[in-house]
Amino acid sequence: MDALAQYTANGDQLGRAQCLWSLGDTLHMEDQYSEAKETLEAAFAQYSAIGDQQGTAACLQSLGGMLCREG
């Protein structure tokens, strides 16, 4: 079972958010921009839902960096 599925199955919201963020950054490095954006937005939503301001900010930074490089 992959890490994201394991975190989800265990109800580990922080682990799930961190995994999504990592996956989003990896997808971005692999030039898979639409998938990266969706994954980072999911991570942002997860961090926001649990009130993790540092995680939320990190996702916004990653999303902003993607937009700067695309534009």
DSSP state string for 1-58: --HHHHHHHHT-HHHHHHHHHHHHHHHHHTT-HHHHHHHHHHHHHHHHHHT-HHHHHH
Average pLDDT, stretch 13-22? 95
The Cα 39–Cα 6 span in angstroms is 17
Q: What is the count of structural domains for the chain?
A: 1
Percent of the chain with pLDDT over 70: 96
Average pLDDT, stretch 4-15? 93
The parent domain of residue 21 ranges over: 3-70
Query: Is residue 71 predicted with pLDDT exceeding 70?
Result: no
Query: Is residue 67 predicted with pLDDT exceeding 90?
Result: no
pLDDT of residue 47: 97
What tens digit of pLDDT does each residue of 22-46 get? Answer: 999 999 899 898 999 999 999 999 9
